[in-house]
Amino acid sequence: MYFLTKNLASKISLLPMIIISLTVFVGCIIYSFIYSLTGSKLIPALNYVGFQQYERLFKSRKWDVAVENIFIYGFVFTIGCLVIGFLLAVLIDQKIRGESLFRTIFLYPYAMSFVVTGLVWKWVLNPTFGLEHSMHLWGFDWFKLDWLVNRELAIYAVCIAAVWQGAGFVMVLMLAGLRGIDEDIWKSLSIEGIPKWRSYLFVILPMIRPMVVTSIVLIAAGVVKVYDLILALTSGGPGYATTTPAMYVMENFFSRANLGQAFAASIIMFISVVCILAPWAYYEFYFRNKEAK
């Protein structure tokens, strides 16, 4: 009973959120699962077909491509943002002139919506009127930049656009961390005669760990929900080379009138997110508590 009455006021104030979470999130997950076992087309209908939708999903070549893409995108986007963001932060941290100007320039892409980013890069990377075309007009005939229309490379073109947008944001977070480092630490590092790059990499970086973790969490959330960028940049093309699980779900929900399939795919998406998050949550909430005790 003590478990319930302890901090009663805060528990009551959390109640609406708990109710909403339970009904909206858990309720919808259960609803999705139930209907993923049906042959629903345009409208949800309870005509059970067993695990047929899952079978169809795993046989689908398009779904395979979508899953592969989200891994490529997740990996390149996360690493790209962290490395470039950190480098930019370090460079700006060198007490350069016009710092705020550079900060604005680097952060500016983040202020744009993914749709705008997608369209801008679509024009830049389009071989018939983008950068490649301009280079040809300037006389550089050998120049080739056909990533967007090359089915092997198109997903990396998406990554470039995403990193361009996200790196500035990571830079700001990291910079905030760097600015929080005590001057004395820098003084003692220089007395020891440690080169700057080593100090950054082995002393400062571990000290701004919270900033790195925050960046990773924010980036990871962006990876799972990537949809609008790809829609604007490639619409999943060429063919379906840059499609993602979220796009697969949306397509089946709306244009393809294939609700059962969409529910099955979203349940699989949900399970994979849980699989990735569970060990981390276990570590954060259980392991850490133990450590604290």
Partner 1 sequence: MKKFFSIILTLFIPLSFTNASKAGGHMEAEVIHWWVSGGEQAAISKFAEAWKDMGGTWIDTAITGGDNARGTTVNRIIGGNPPTAAQFNISKQFVDLVEQGQLQSLEEVASAEGWRDFIYPPELIETCEFEGEFYCVPVNIHSAQWMWINNEVFEKAGVPKPNTIQDFIAVAPQIQDAGFIPLALGGQPWQEGLMFDVVASSTLGFPHMAKLYRDKDVEAFRDGKMEMVLQTYRDLNKFIDEGAPGRLWNDATAMVVEGKAAMQIMGDWARGEFAVAGKEAKVDYDCVIPGKEKYVALGGDVFVFPKNSDPKVKEIQLKMASMMVNPTVQANFNNAKGSLPMRLDVDTSAADACMQMGLELIQQPSAIMRENDDWNSPAFTSAWEDIISEFRNDPNYSVSAAMDDLEAVLTSGL
Helices (runs of H) and strands (runs of E) counted in the chain: 17, 0
Q: What is the 3-state secondary structure (H, E, C) of 4-57?
A: HHCCHHHHHHHHHHHHHHHHHHHHHHHHHHHHHCECCCCCCCCCECCCHHHHHH
- Residue 210 or 238 having the CB closest to partner 1: 238
Q: What is the closest distance, in whole angstroms, from the C-beta atom of residue 42 to partner 1 in the complex?
A: 4
Q: What is the closest distance, in whole angstroms, from the C-beta atom of residue 126 to partner 1 in the complex?
A: 6
Q: What is the closest distance, in whole angstroms, from the C-beta atom of residue 41 to partner 1 in the complex?
A: 5
130: amino acid identity, one letter: G
Q: What is the closest distance, in whole angstroms, from the C-beta atom of residue 18 to partner 1 in the complex?
A: 13
- Residue 42 or 185 having the CB closest to partner 1: 42
- Residue 13 or 104 having the CB closest to partner 1: 13
* Residue ranges that bind partner 1, judged by CB under 8 A: 41-45, 56, 61-62, 122, 126-129, 146, 148-149, 151, 154, 234-235, 237-241, 251-258, 261
Contacts of 162 (CB under 8 A, 6+ apart): 73, 77, 80, 81, 117, 222, 226, 229
Q: What is the closest distance, in whole angstroms, from the C-beta atom of residue 144 to partner 1 in the complex?
A: 10
237 alpha carbon, distance to own chain's centre: 20
* C-alpha closest to that of 103 among 116, 113, 87, 88: 88
- Residue 149 or 181 having the CB closest to partner 1: 149
Phi, psi of 139 (to 5 degrees): 105, 0
- Residue 30 or 257 having the CB closest to partner 1: 257
